[in-house]
Copies of this chain bind each other. A is one copy, B any other.
Amino acid sequence: MLPNKMLEETLNKKVSILLKDNTILEGTLSGFDEYMNMVLSDVEENGENVSRKVGTVIVRGSNVVRIVQK
């Protein structure tokens, strides 16, 4: 299964996204494009020491390490 196809099947599902700066974003995948830019809703952002609700987030794909389905 192609990564793009997999992302399509993940739409509207909960994901956990690891960014290059080690932040983890947990939320619902609302959209994505061919660069792996993504729109997430109901996001909780988990950094080294802090965790907070941040609503809707647009992530630039170049920062994404990996996406895990929750």
A3-B38, A31-B6 known; A57-B68 Cβ under 8 A: yes
> What residues of chain A have their CB less than 8 Å away from a CB belonging to chain B?
1-7, 10, 19-23, 25, 30-33, 36-39, 54-69
Out of B1, B3, B23, B58, name the residue touching A6 (CB < 8 Å).
B58
Out of B6, B30, B57, B59, name the residue touching A56 (CB < 8 Å).
B6
Distance between A18 CB and nearest chain B CB, rounded to angstroms: 9
**Residues of B close to A7: CB separation below 8 A:** 58
Distance between A35 CB and nearest chain B CB, rounded to angstroms: 8
Query: A66–B59 contact, CB under 8 A?
Result: yes
A58-B67, A62-B62, A63-B65 known; A1-B19 Cβ under 8 A: no
